[in-house]
C-alpha cells in the first residue's frame, strides 16, 4: 500500500478540513518527520504572507478608488491636512524607535494577521467584537486594545485575549502583553490554536521586556515540543546563547 501524500494534506490540515482519522495519521507523521514539520512551518509562513499581501492589495484598491472619486479640491485639502499629521507621526516613530532594544530581537516579531473576522468594504456592524477586530485590521492598536479589554471584562475568550495581547505588543507594551498571555487559562494546545501560537509571542514579550532567562526557558519549551514557530525559537535560542557571557 502506497504512503499517503502527507505534504499535500498540509493546507487542508491548517484549514481544519481533514476528517479525524486522516488528521490523526498526519499528526503521527508530523511527530516522526522533521522534513514534514518544516514543510508545515513553511506552509504557515506562506499563508501569512498571502494574507498580508491580499490585505495590502485591498487597501491599495480602496485607496485608489477613493482618490479617483474625490475632487481635486478635496485632494488638495487632504494633502495640506496630512502635513502636520505626518510630521507628528514622524516624531512618534523616532521616539518609539529610540526606545527599541539595541539588539535585533525585534526582527523576530511579525504582526499576527486577523484570522477571525473577514471584512467587506461598506459593511457596518454594531457588534463590539467586529469593531475591535476592525480596529486591529486598520492598525489602530490603541483602540483595538481598549475594545478587546472591554470585551474580555464581559466574557473572556481565547481570541479576544490573544488579540488584546497582540495589540499591546504592537504598542510595545510588553508588561501588559505578558500579563495577558501568562494569566489566561488557555483551553487548547492543539497545533495552530491560540494556545499554541501564544507561546511564541509570550517568549518574545519576555525577551523584549528584558526577562531573558524566562524568555529562554519559554523558547526552550516551545522548541522541544515543536510548537508554533519552533524553528525560529531554535534560532533565537542559539543567538541568545552566543551572546551570553562565559560562566
Q: List pLDDT tens digits, range 121-159.
A: 445 567 788 889 989 988 899 999 999 999 999 888 888
Q: Buried b vs exposed e over 148-175: b needs ≥16 C-beta within 10 Å?
A: bbebbeeeebbbbbbbbbbbbbbebbbe
**Does the structure show a pLDDT above 60 at 84?**
no
pLDDT at 211: 92
Residues 6+ away with beta carbon under 8 Å from 176: 145, 165, 168
Check: pTM over 0.75? Answer yes or no. Answer: no
Q: List pLDDT tens digits, range 95-107.
A: 444 444 434 677 8
Q: List pLDDT tens digits, range 203-214.
A: 999 999 989 999
Of 203, 208, 161, 220, the residue nearest 185 (C-alpha): 161
Indicate the angle between helix axes 20-32 and 34-69, nearest 10 degrees.
110
Maximum CA pair distance of the chain?
71
Instruction: Kindly state the average pLDDT of the residues 214-221.
Output: 92
pLDDT at 121: 47
Strands (E), 38-186: none
Q: Which position has the grid cell 516579531?
A: 109
Structural domains for the chain: 1-89 (no CATH), 100-247 (1.25.40.10)
Amino acid at each position: 500500500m502506497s504512503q499517503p501524500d502527507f505534504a499535500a494534506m498540509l493546507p487542508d490540515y491548517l484549514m481544519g478540513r481533514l476528517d479525524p482519522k486522516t488528521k490523526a495519521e498526519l499528526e503521527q507523521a508530523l511527530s516522526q518527520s522533521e522534513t514534514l514539520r518544516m514543510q508545515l512551518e513553511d506552509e504557515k509562513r506562506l499563508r501569512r504572507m498571502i494574507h498580508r499581501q491580499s490585505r495590502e492589495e485591498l487597501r491599495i484598491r480602496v485607496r485608489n478608488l477613493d482618490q479617483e472619486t474625490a475632487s481635486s479640491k478635496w485632494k488638495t485639502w487632504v494633502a495640506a491636512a496630512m502635513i502636520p499629521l505626518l510630521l507628528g507621526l514622524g516624531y512618534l516613530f523616532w521616539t518609539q524607535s529610540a526606545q527599541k532594544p539595541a539588539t535585533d530581537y525585534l526582527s523576530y516579531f511579525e504582526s499576527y494577521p486577523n484570522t477571525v473576522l473577514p471584512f467587506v468594504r461598506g459593511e457596518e456592524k454594531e457588534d463590539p467584537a467586529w469593531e475591535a477586530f476592525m480596529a486591529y485590521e486598520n492598525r489602530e492598536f490603541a483602540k483595538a486594545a481598549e475594545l478587546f479589554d472591554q470585551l474580555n471584562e464581559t466574557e473572556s475568550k481565547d481570541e479576544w485575549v490573544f488579540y488584546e495581547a497582540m495589540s499591546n505588543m504592537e504598542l510595545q507594551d510588553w508588561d501588559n502583553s505578558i500579563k495577558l498571555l501568562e494569566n489566561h487559562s488557555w483551553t487548547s494546545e492543539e497545533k495552530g490554536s491560540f494556545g499554541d501560537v501564544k507561546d511564541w509571542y509570550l517568549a518574545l514579550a519576555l525577551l523584549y521586556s528584558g526577562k531573558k532567562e524566562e524568555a529562554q526557558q519559554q523558547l526552550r519549551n516551545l522548541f522541544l515540543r515543536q510548537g508554533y514557530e519552533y524553528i525560529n525559537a531554535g534560532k533565537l535560542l542559539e543567538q541568545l546563547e552566543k551572546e551570553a557571557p562565559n560562566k
